Amino acid sequence: MTSFIVLVFQLSILIMSVVIHEFSHGWMAWYLGDKTAEYYGRLTLNPLKHLDFFGSFIVPLSLYFLTGGRFVFGWAKPVPYNPNNLRDQKYGSAKVAAAGPAANLLIASIFGFSLRFLPAANVALYEIFSLIAVINIALAVFNLIPIPPLDGSKIFFDFLPYPLKNLRAFLERYGFLILLLAIFLGLDFWFIPLISFIFRFFAGRGMPFL
């Protein structure tokens, strides 16, 4: 595929993947009794309701050119929900947080396992399915990092013992700066190998790029 076609496919796949990610948060909150996402019109797969100009366009386009087209990443506007409305007050927030990455991993597993049965000669379809799997794995893995404002922090906080509440306060205050520092210091050293490992687990072979 030409570079332009790759860019179009990567951006399209990323947009739909982050939309499904955010929709899944809203759906889980709705399932657990909170209607906030539905009230704000966010319980939908319509991309226009979820896209963030910076996270859905500027960041992925910048990454595309910075990495020579090897990788894109981004995000959508967070789906609002009220944890006080959830039926499960103990682990409800963790379930809502986990729903997004879980949806991405489900998509990755479907397209990853499909690669095992694709004819070797169908190179274009193989690359498209691989892109879908890799982008969704990346979204899931990155969002499961237990540092605010990522989903992993909400899961982590729900299981954090009360005596460690000061750690939560510290991470909520400085989490974004810690995350930026981690990215700057080489988060990709373990991030990309982990994506590759999960892809190989699903597809039974290595990634055709990265």
172 tagged catalytic:
no
* Span between the terminal Cα atoms of the chain, in Å: 16
Which of 22, 38, 127, 172 is labelled catalytic?
22
DSSP 8-state symbol, 185: T
The Cα 93–Cα 195 span in angstroms is 26
At residue 81's C-alpha, the angle toward residues 78 and 83, to 5°, is 130
Q: Say which residue the tokens 């910075």 belong to.
A: 66
Q: What SS3 class is residue 76?
A: strand
Q: Return the structure tokens found at 75.
A: 């995000």
Catalytically annotated residues: 22
